[in-house]
Structure 1
C-alpha cells in the first residue's frame, strides 16, 4: 500500500492513529505502536474478524496487519443517534448470540498495553476470577494502587463469585473491552466496534463495561438489547461484579483512585 498522506486522529493512549490517504485514492485507518509486542496487531485483527463473523455489530474491515501496523477500512465518524443506539443494542445481542466454544480464547491478548491470559476454563466464574480479576488485583496491590481493605473486599467477592455470578449462561462472543470509546458511531447512522479484546465470555460483561464510563444513549442501547435478548433476573445488581476487572486494569495503569472504585464495586457486588 503506497501512502500519499497521513493525518493524525484520536486513537487512544496506547497507539498512534492516522487517517491514511493511499496512492490509489483510497482513505484507510492505520494505527501503530512503537516497539509493539509480537502479534499485538495480529491479535487485534483476529478479534475484529471474530466479531465480524458473529454477524452482529459490524466492525471495520481488516485490510492488513503486521508487527508494526494495523490497517482498517476508514469509517467516517458521526454523532450518536437514538436509532443508531437502538440498532447497536439489537446487533450487540446478535454478537453475543454467537456462542463460543469455551470461556477464553485460543490465544492470549491485551487490554490496552497490558497482557491478558485467555486460557480457557469450563465455567465463567472460574475464568473471570482466575484470568481477569486476580492477576490485576495482585499487580495493583504490589504497585500500591489498591489498599488492603479494598483488596480484602475484592477477595471476598471472588470467594462468593459462584453465587454472585447469577444463573449459568453459555459462553458468548464478547468484545471484552467495550467502554464507550471503543464504539465508533458512523456518519451512516450505524455503530461499529473497535479495539476488541474478543473472547468467549459473559454477555453482561460488555454491557457493564458500556455503563462504566458512560456511553451515549445507554438507556436506548440497553432497552433494545433486552427486547432482543432478555437478561437474567438480577442483572443490574451484577453490574459492579463485571466492572471489577476494568477498574483494576485502570488501577494498574492510572493509580489508586481506580483502586478505591474497585473496592466500592466489590462491596456493591456483595450487596447484590
Structure 2
C-alpha cells in the first residue's frame, strides 16, 4: 500500500475488541468514498479491509448503516460489503467492512445484471411501509415510522421533515407556500395506485452502485426502508450514470405502472430537498421548480 498511515493505539484496541482482528501493526491509506466520513483501506494480517471513520457522536450513523447492509445482504439479491465491526473510542466512531474490488457500471451486461438484482430486491416485500428503526439519508436523519399507507408515510416521514428543515434554515418561496398545497394533494396521486412495500436501497444513485471483480452487482451506503420501488428507480435517474440496458431490463421484468413520471418527480423532490439542506442554496432553484411543477399538476 502506498503512503501508509499508522493506526492509532486507541482505535486499534477498539477495532480488535469489536472484531477480534489484531490491528496493532496495521497500516491504512486514504481512499475516495464519500463526503461525510473519512474512508481508509486497512491492511492487517495479510488481508485488506475498508474502514469508515468520523467523530464519536456519529456512531449511530454507522450502526444504522450496518443494519441496512445486513438487511440487503439477507435478501441475497446483491453482493453487499459485510459489516465486520462497529463501535467507537472516546474520540472516533468506526465501521469496519470487508474490502471488495469494485468498478463502476459501464457495459450493457453490467446494466442487465444490476437490473435483475434490483428486481429481486424489490420483490422482497413486507406488510408495512417504513423500517424497524430510523436511519440516515446522507447525513440527514431519516424517519421510518411504520405506516399502513404509502402516501401518509411519504408525507410524514419523507417530504414534511425535509420541508421543515428547509424552512428552519431560512428557505421560503415555493418551499413554503406551494409545498403546503402539494402536501395536501399527495394522497390523490395514490388513489388508483397502491404500491407494494418493497425493500429499497433508499439512496440509489450511481455512486452507491458498482460491479465486483467477478461481475456480481454490488450496492452499499444504504438508507433502507420498505416503500414504493419506483422511489429507487427515480433516484437512479436523478444524477444519471446507469447504462440504458439497466432500465430496459428492469422495465421488461417489472414495468412501472402508469403515472411513473409524476411519481418520479415527487420522489426525487425528497432527495433534492435533502441536498438543499445538506449542501446549500445551489439546490434551491431546482427544489422550487419541482414543487411548482408538481403543484401545477396536482392542484387544479
TM > 0.5 fold call: yes
State the distance in 2 between where 1:186 and 1:124 align: 34
Q: What is aligned with 2:74?
A: 53
Structure 1 partner of 2:22:
2
Unaligned runs of 5+ in 2: 1-20
Matched, 1:43 2:64: yes
Question: Which SS does the other structure have where 1:66 is aligned?
Answer: strand
Matching residue of 2:216: 190
Gaps of 5+ in 1: none
Using the size of structure 1 for normalisation, the TM-score is: 0.92
Secondary structure of 1:51's aligned partner = helix
**Partner deviation per Cα, 1:21-58 (whole Å, 9 max, x = no partner):** 112x1111111111333432121111011111122222
- Aligned partners of 2:223, 2:104: CA distance in 1, in Å? 25
Question: Which residue of 2 is the match for residue 117 of structure 1?
Answer: 143
Q: Distance in 2 between matches of 1:159 and 1:27?
A: 51
Identify the residue that residue 292 of structure 2 maps to in structure 1: 267
The separation in 2 between residues aligned to 1:221 and 1:154, in whole angstroms, is 33
The match for 2:127 is 101
2:14: which partner in 1?
A: none
TM-score by length of structure 2 reads 0.84
Contact 2:72 2:80 in 1 (8 A): yes
Give the number of the structure whose alpha-carbon radius of gyration is greater: 2
In the TM superposition, 1:218-233 aligns within 5 A as 219-233=244-258
State the match for 1:177 in structure 2: 203
Which of 159-168 and 92-101 deviates more?
A: 159-168
* Partner Cα separation in structure 1 for residue 276 and residue 269 of structure 2: 10
Map Cα deviations across residues 57-88 of structure 1 (whole Å, 9 max, x no partner): 22112222224211112111224222111111
Within 5 Å, which residues of 2 pair with 1:80-229?
80=105, 81-144=107-170, 146-165=171-190, 167-217=193-243, 219-229=244-254
Q: 1:36 aligns to what SS in structure 2?
A: helix
SS in 1 for 2:145: coil
**Distance in 2 between the 1:38 and 1:6 partners?**
20
Q: Tell me if the contact between 2:111 and 2:246 (Cα under 8 Å) persists in the aligned partners.
A: yes
Shift of 1:135: 0.9
- Displacement, 1:269? 3.0
Q: What is the rounded CA distance, in whole Å, between the counterparts of 2:142 and 2:108 in structure 1?
A: 34
| C-alpha distance in 1 between matches for 2:138 and 2:222 | 10
Aligned 8 A contact 2:104 2:209 in 1: no
Runs of 4+ deviating beyond 3 Å: none
Which of 38, 42, 54 pairs up with 1:16?
38
**Is the CA contact 2:201–2:222 (under 8 Å) kept in the aligned structure 1?**
yes
RMSD of aligned C-alpha atoms? 1.7
